[in-house]
Amino acid sequence: MGTEAGAARRWRMIRASLAAAFASAIAINLAGCDRAPPVAAPSESAAPVVPALASPPADLAAPSPEPTPTAEISTPGVPSASRDPGEVLAAWAKAVEMRDWATVRAYWGDKGARSGLSDKDFAAKWSSLLDPRVTIGKGEQEGAAGSLYYTAPVRIIDGPRTVRGQIVLRRANDVDGATDEQLRWHIESTTLEP
């Protein structure tokens, strides 16, 4: 446990150092932007020179993706019962970022059993993530044979490592006799490999 906490602190320190270095580099570059270019003496025959406005490269001008909304975990080990799949994934992401592996596993069907791993094995697999930051992309919902599915892209940044994949949520489509467990959004499958 002490090794994991030490590794997490090291990642935070590295990230903070990189952020400070990046901010310093930007400040130094911007400081040079305040200086006016040297002005040559105007000649009578020369037309006035108007500097061209440079537009930023397309990849810098595009808005950055929205961060995953902050969600609260009401009870550790108990997944969100929200009817909004986006809220469910936001709460799942929060559990991943908190490294609450019991709650992360509980988002799978049958209270985690559909993950195919025991509590201990699930925690061992996912605990390779030391300081995860989760971003959930826009998902798509569709229905089929009495079930609703919601598929969304997921990115987990953990220090220098990035894990990308998809998560498919599923729930029963309000059919008569469906249990609360069948009606809640739960992870049906994922391509994430932490």
Average pLDDT value for the chain: 76
C-alpha 71/C-alpha 82 separation (Å) is 11
- Minimal CA–CA distance to 102: which of 79, 81, 85, 84? 79
pLDDT over 90 at 155, yes or no: yes
90 and 115 Cβ atoms separated by less than 8 Å: no
Length of the chain: 194
C-alpha 187/C-alpha 168 separation (Å) is 6
172 and 183 Cβ atoms separated by less than 8 Å: yes
Q: Which of 19-28, 59-68, 123-132 has the lowest mean pLDDT?
A: 59-68
Task: Quote the pLDDT of residue 2.
Answer: 57
> Domains (ranges, CATH) in the chain?
85-190 (3.10.450.100)
pLDDT bin (cut points 50, 70, 90) of residue 46 is very low
160 and 177 Cβ atoms separated by less than 8 Å: no
149 and 168 Cβ atoms separated by less than 8 Å: yes
C-alpha 174/C-alpha 20 separation (Å) is 51
